[in-house]
């Protein structure tokens, strides 16, 4: 039975018009509750597939220690930024006596749901997650919280779920990057971003837009694209570069996309940065493996991972209240290299 299709004690209490405490006592067969009431509650729980919340129980009573295993959901392990975050999580967890169980959602909602169920069934003590690109329903996260599972988001936070998170200052990082492009003489700056259903995409776009506004420039919708990978950037950039009075700079949501733009521009005979300036967002290893080396916003993924693990472990060990929403921001910095003037 999936935890997503089960009910909680709150659900039972609401349906039967009793308190959660009454439900709890009845399910434990307490003599404090009448036999008739106990039978009524137990029957309802059985018929509606109630699963005892062993995680919450283990966290509530110090005599029962939770298993020291943290579940981590990564959208793509091969992605440099996510791999550095994972390294930060593992380092912090190892220092504090915890092991890490890692699973990859591959940017798929259904796979993300299955991983949550697997982690729950394997009784991890908490979960650290960055949501998949196509996740737009959040019942699996809400159910974990209902069951007392400590949950911490990193990078791609879920605004529909009120729980702790660690992010970088995406807005300020984008704002500073675009401001740099403008300060070096660029006036027609294209934007390549991810799907706007993700909070990081909105924040980076808002930083881009506000930098233009602050400097008296207008956004040109001809230069706006939803594109967040190298292959797609190489495919669509020639069309934009051929526009009369086309862009003289590009700001990309990540380094891979920026490198795709770079290679497309060079193949078309544009000089970078003389004709076209390009800025990415990550500062991964590929940023220094291209020619010229990429100007980019450094995200400090290792630090993000350390902070996420610290929040989760502190909640598991009771140093942070479970109902406290901890929000931490890791500062970015602009690394200027050869793709900008």
Alpha carbons within 13 A on the beta-carbon side of 66: 31
Cis status of the peptide bond prior to 273, with omega within 30 of 0: yes
Please report the pLDDT score of residue 59 as a whole number: 47
Tens digit of each residue's pLDDT, the chain (341 residues): 566 667 788 889 999 999 989 998 998 889 899 999 999 999 998 888 777 655 555 544 444 455 799 999 999 998 899 999 999 999 999 999 999 999 999 999 999 999 999 998 888 999 999 999 989 999 999 989 988 899 999 999 988 899 999 999 999 999 999 999 999 999 999 999 999 989 999 999 999 999 999 999 999 999 999 999 999 999 999 999 999 999 999 999 999 999 999 999 999 999 999 999 999 999 999 999 999 999 999 999 999 999 999 999 999 998 998 788 999 999 999 999 999 99
**Residue in 201, 200, 211 with CA at minimum distance from that of residue 176:** 211
Residue in this structure with the two tokens 């019942």, named with its chain if needed: 139
**Residue in 86, 90, 92 with CA at minimum distance from that of residue 74:** 86
**Residue in 328, 6, 313 with CA at minimum distance from that of residue 150:** 313
Please report the pLDDT score of residue 244 as a whole number: 92
Q: Which class for 254: exposed (0-12), middle (13-18), buried (19 or more C-beta within 10 A)?
A: buried
């Amino acid at each position: 039975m999936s935890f997503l299709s089960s009910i909680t004690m709150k659900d039972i209490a609401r349906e039967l018009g009793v308190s959660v405490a009454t439900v709890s006592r009845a399910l434990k067969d307490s003599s404090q509750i009448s036999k008739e009431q106990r039978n009524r509650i137990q029957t309802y729980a059985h018929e509606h597939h109630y699963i005892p919340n062993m995680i919450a129980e283990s966290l509530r009573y110090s005599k029962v220690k939770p298993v020291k295993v943290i579940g981590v959901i990564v959208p793509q392990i091969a992605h440099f930024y996510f791999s550095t975050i994972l390294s930060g999580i593992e380092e912090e967890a190892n220092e504090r006596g915890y092991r890490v169980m890692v699973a990859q959602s591959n940017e798929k909602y259904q796979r993300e749901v299955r991983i949550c169920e697997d982690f729950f069934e394997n009784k991890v003590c908490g979960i650290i997650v960055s949501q998949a690109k196509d996740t737009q329903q959040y019942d699996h996260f809400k159910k974990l919280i209902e069951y007392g599972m400590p949950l911490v988001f990193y990078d791609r936070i879920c605004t529909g779920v009120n729980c702790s998170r660690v992010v970088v200052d995406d807005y300020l990082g984008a704002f500073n990057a675009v401001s740099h492009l403008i300060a070096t003489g660029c006036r027609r700056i294209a934007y390549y971003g991810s799907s706007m259903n993700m909070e990081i995409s909105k924040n980076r776009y808002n930083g881009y837009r506000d930098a233009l506004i602050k400097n008296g420039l207008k956004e040109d919708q001809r230069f706006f694209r939803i594109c967040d990978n190298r292959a797609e950037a190489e495919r669509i950039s020639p069309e934009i570069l051929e526009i009369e009075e086309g862009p003289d700079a590009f700001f990309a949501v990540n380094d891979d996309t920026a490198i795709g733009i770079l290679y497309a521009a060079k193949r078309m005979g544009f000089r970078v940065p003389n004709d076209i300036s390009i800025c990415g967002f990550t500062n991964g290893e590929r940023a220094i493996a291209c020619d010229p080396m990429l100007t980019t916003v450094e995200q400090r993924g290792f630090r993000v991972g350390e902070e996420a693990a610290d929040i989760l472990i502190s909640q598991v060990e009771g140093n942070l209240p479970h109902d406290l929403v901890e929000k931490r921001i890791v500062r970015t910095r602009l690394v200027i290299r050869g793709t900008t003037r």
